Structure 1
């Protein structure tokens, strides 16, 4: 039997710092007296850790509360100004870069469209570098203040190589792209600032679990519907992760044998029926006419308006309505597969296209998902929309370096390290609901 590694005093101190930071972030503000039972630490340990963290600038006072028969108690919270975080969403139609403080208040944003150039690797890397430079410049943030850069990417990640994470993005033409190394070289941030890459659906899932519609759920699935589709699986509060980050490829389950050609090259994938790109193609084939020269988001808006005219007196286009009805059935059937396989308590639909389609399709999606599912798992699940809006992937990406920072006791790790992901808020507890976002 292998010997179990011995925990050093340094390991214990880091674990104690992590426990206090995570609990304050999840449930704060809290007093020193509340932190003891909440973390399992003695009052002496709490006092020592709080003093250390305050000296490091990571904690601040957040008011005073009266106590029964005693002196008023000072509340503590993680200081929003204790660092800066960048989240990057490499999406299908744009690269979005956001700068946040530790409380996830958005301080600056930059959107760079991809409409005419696709996902050429050099262009993506340049967009990310330009976006990071733009948000730092706009906010006046020194690069050394960054705790890290989180990046949501399309496709499967393979971790553990000397140059960092490698991306296999078959639908966008990426074959073993050493994206982490390319970004590190192009962006030129200080060596202590790490890059943390994740599948985009997982970044969306982490955001919804920390701050959005997934709060309080232990077993959940967060679905991303954009040009394609993906899903994030959360089991007992933890996102499925590991060296090969592939759980987001739900869109490439076969739903129709010898069916429509998917952009991955296979036939009959769910993405070939439920993704926005395929949905718009089916509308054109059925005689629909998106606005000339419109990008994907504008064209989808036009399709929805044709099927559900905003003017209540206008007649709905039966072709557009039929395409959306069929999409709801495929999406519901795909969700039923997830329900039957994983028996989640909650399914959330997000992504830019999912949020556009949701108000019009959600009722039908629920009906079809229930009809195609086994009765027992269908009876315990709720299906709803994500609550964080179209920038949820950016928010989720920014939480990746923050989670790593907390896990290391409020200190940066070596920049080449890429951690496993955690969906629940730090420590597996509910994250604070009061996140604010700038324009």
Structure 2
């Protein structure tokens, strides 16, 4: 039976369940009485949906309010132990895998350095597979079904249909890598467990908008500042965020060679990898064998010693120049998208900290147009170095809430294409 605008009764029921679940997840505990106006559902619909969700084990009672003034109302909340989620960050120096309960409390973690083979596809796939196996083994006794796996990865993500997500990661040497298919071959990702793969900057953005410094904003830009740089743009017409290849904006025509192969990209000047390389070229001397993170720490200590010593002029000059480059890049984002907030995350951004951010902010607001600049706040993200992993876990969480708490069914994994698309494709054959 079709309902409003062609929706079936099943569709309407799923939407009602989703509305109740999402409201309780973000704003709970709440009473049945409060859920009505909060969701726009009638009291009868709220009662029926809540009864279903309690029977499914997704909700639990969480106390009573109003006992001293009339009829008491029982509070409800989402049961955190009713499901588990895995978040994976395929980062720039390591692969991090974390297992969470439905409330995003960490249950287990596994980390593997990329090692000498770097982003070799088979090595990365093995790291992810082994990490998933390890966290599930460590938390074997934890309650709740595994609801899905989310993965944040550098690059552009293409959904190819039945083969799942394909990654185009030019800066890491990945050309149309069918990551989801490769992960499922081993069996660690069985068909009944959905897998969501997206750009790492977007997963960072999801985490900050849902739980961090972006919460409550209608539009924002979340910047991932690590070995390279990237950004996620959240607007009212793209509430889930849109990853943009901000790091490959041309900052200087014919400039330094970027990891992507082009010249003059922002990432060639402002990413941590480029920052350390420019310090070395200018005469800086990080410790022998120092990795990227340690070398950046040493650069920062040389430029801004905390023991009262004189700053190293070479390190200070490189850091100051980097602040100008990043400020120019942020001013472009402000002019293009007029965000309420610009949030800087990623391990390098957090390591450089508030003092460096003040310099970046000054350059950005000086170069941006006055009107959007006056309405943008530039600040550090709140979720720390695990934000990409948390954001990756948000991908299956968001899908679960949107399904109204129904489990995933592989048979309906991909929605059928709309009739207009099938008609168009038949004409092109």
TM range (shorter): over 0.9
Counterpart of 2:137 in structure 1 is 137
Distance 1:19 1:344, change over 3 A: same
Give the whole-Å Cα distance in 1 for the aligned partners of 2:158 and 2:70. Answer: 55
Give the whole-Å Cα distance in 2 for the aligned partners of 1:144 and 1:100. Answer: 10
Deviation at 1:185, TM superposition (A): 1.6
Give the whole-Å Cα distance in 1 for the aligned partners of 2:237 and 2:34. Answer: 23
Give the whole-Å Cα distance in 2 for the aligned partners of 1:223 and 1:419. Answer: 31
Counterpart of 1:397 in structure 2 is 392
Residue 293 of structure 1, aligned match among 273, 286, 289: 289
Give the whole-Å Cα distance in 2 for the aligned partners of 1:63 and 1:69. Answer: 15
Deviation at 1:412, TM superposition (A): 2.6
TM-score, normalized by length of structure 1?
0.91
The one of the two structures with greater contact order (alpha-carbon pairs below 8 A, sep at least 6) is 1
Counterpart of 1:250 in structure 2 is 246
Distance 1:419 1:108, change over 3 A: farther
Counterpart of 1:88 in structure 2 is 88
Deviation at 1:415, TM superposition (A): 4.4
Give the whole-Å Cα distance in 2 for the aligned partners of 1:380 and 1:160. Answer: 39
Q: Is the 8 A contact 1:195 1:415 kept in 2?
A: no
Distance 1:143 1:268, change over 3 A: farther
Counterpart of 1:407 in structure 2 is 402
1:356 aligns with 2:360: no
Counterpart of 1:376 in structure 2 is 371
Counterpart of 1:183 in structure 2 is 183
Q: Is the 8 A contact 2:82 2:143 kept in 1?
A: no
Which consecutive unaligned segments of at least 5 residues does structure 2 have? 416-429
Deviation at 1:143, TM superposition (A): 10
Residue 381 of structure 2, aligned match among 383, 386, 389: 386
Once the two structures are superposed, residues 348-403 of structure 1 have per-residue CA deviations (whole angstroms, 9 ceiling, x without a partner) of: 00000010113231111111001110000000000000010001000000010011
Give the whole-Å Cα distance in 2 for the aligned partners of 1:239 and 1:415. Answer: 26
Deviation at 1:238, TM superposition (A): 3.6
Deviation at 1:237, TM superposition (A): 7.5
1:323 aligns with 2:357: no
1:62 aligns with 2:62: yes
Deviation at 1:188, TM superposition (A): 2.6
Once the two structures are superposed, residues 335-359 of structure 1 have per-residue CA deviations (whole angstroms, 9 ceiling, x without a partner) of: 0000000000000000000101132
1:306 aligns with 2:302: yes
Counterpart of 1:47 in structure 2 is 47
Give the whole-Å Cα distance in 2 for the aligned partners of 1:339 and 1:419. Answer: 36
Counterpart of 1:430 in structure 2 is none
Give the whole-Å Cα distance in 2 for the aligned partners of 1:275 and 1:84. Answer: 34
TM-score, normalized by length of structure 2?
0.93
Deviation at 1:417, TM superposition (A): 7.5
Distance 1:282 1:415, change over 3 A: farther
Counterpart of 2:117 in structure 1 is 117
Distance 1:222 1:239, change over 3 A: same
1:367 aligns with 2:362: yes
Which consecutive unaligned segments of at least 5 residues does structure 1 have? 421-439
Q: Is the 8 A contact 2:183 2:189 kept in 1?
A: no
Distance 1:41 1:68, change over 3 A: farther
Q: Is the 8 A contact 1:164 1:416 kept in 2?
A: no
Give the whole-Å Cα distance in 2 for the aligned partners of 1:343 and 1:262. Answer: 27
Q: Is the 8 A contact 2:84 2:144 kept in 1?
A: no
Deviation at 1:419, TM superposition (A): 9.0
Give the whole-Å Cα distance in 2 for the aligned partners of 1:129 and 1:166. Answer: 17
Counterpart of 1:38 in structure 2 is 38
Give the whole-Å Cα distance in 1 for the aligned partners of 2:411 and 2:200. Answer: 20
